[in-house]
Structure 1
């Protein structure tokens, strides 16, 4: 637009000096008016943009010190990790009172071929499952097995092999499990007693590997049993 005014003004200057001055004044007025309008318009746009940003922003919250002191702390859910070793001693890594294999009979009804190990500990000592498994037998069997008193067996799978652990001379009915129940290694499965043929309170413990009775202590040590 200014270019058009300039061309028109130059032509008019040659034809009519009076009209030239008139148009020159008109062009100056247009320039002044444009200069006055542009800053105002830009300021208005900037102000509108600022207002929109302020309206979109979340309101700032302020708290008095007394309010902060009474605010509840962020609550976190507690997580309990229950990590147990894969193999454990049923009563801890204590010295045995009677080992595996041939021995002298401790009493008239006691065996001379000991198929497990005994731990002679305090009456009522907690007995724990050797490893994860399933309860397969519980009770007081008749006949020659009656020498074991109140006992139970648990079937495990260790290193791909079927292992059965037997716990005997328990206090009667101290076992909270039934046949078919799942058991975790370290669970209390009964209390040490003196049921059956014994000379004192003790735990008789047997291991059967793929159907064959084995000496428990070397197997427990080889599998890094926890005490």
Structure 2
């Protein structure tokens, strides 16, 4: 059993489905299969243009996910309305603009303190655990605690980019910030560009890590290794 939970982001599967205007592959069946193959959670990120996961997918997925359902996105009015109605186990707040290709930075939790504090309170009132996407910066971790978040999710894009050059230096800030988060009583998640090459090292170095969300790299690997085998390969990295 993995000591860190693997939540599989199925956005790229939805992108394939949407490209033909049909229900193939069936997203709810994919979610079931990911869990059967060893995933301990399912993550989706509905964007305003619904280019992959759509908002009408959310209640269907909530009905079939038996592990943990995590909905991430920018908490605009529609996102908040839909997420509160669906009541996933976790909502991860990401500062994506409407045209963002991917999530490539975290929140400035001090600059947006009042906004985030209000959003966090609304989600928690609906019984939803709240995680805030942040860069590995102690000030931002402290800001996440100040707005009442339950967890943070570290943006690991910079770590992944620098990993091959100097793994110890690439992970250094994450190690420090994770320890601070634990001391503050925050849970620690991570995601973005984690893959079979850099995941195990990150897990071993970042103490307090509870969950990783992986989509793009996992789906790319599944094209070669198959979905079941790939999920199990990722789970083994987290043991």
Hey, which of these two has a bigger chunk of helix by percent? 2
Whose Rg is larger?
1
- Name the TM-score, length of structure 1 as normaliser: 0.24
Hey, which of these two has a bigger chunk of strand by percent? 1
- Name the TM-score, length of structure 2 as normaliser: 0.23
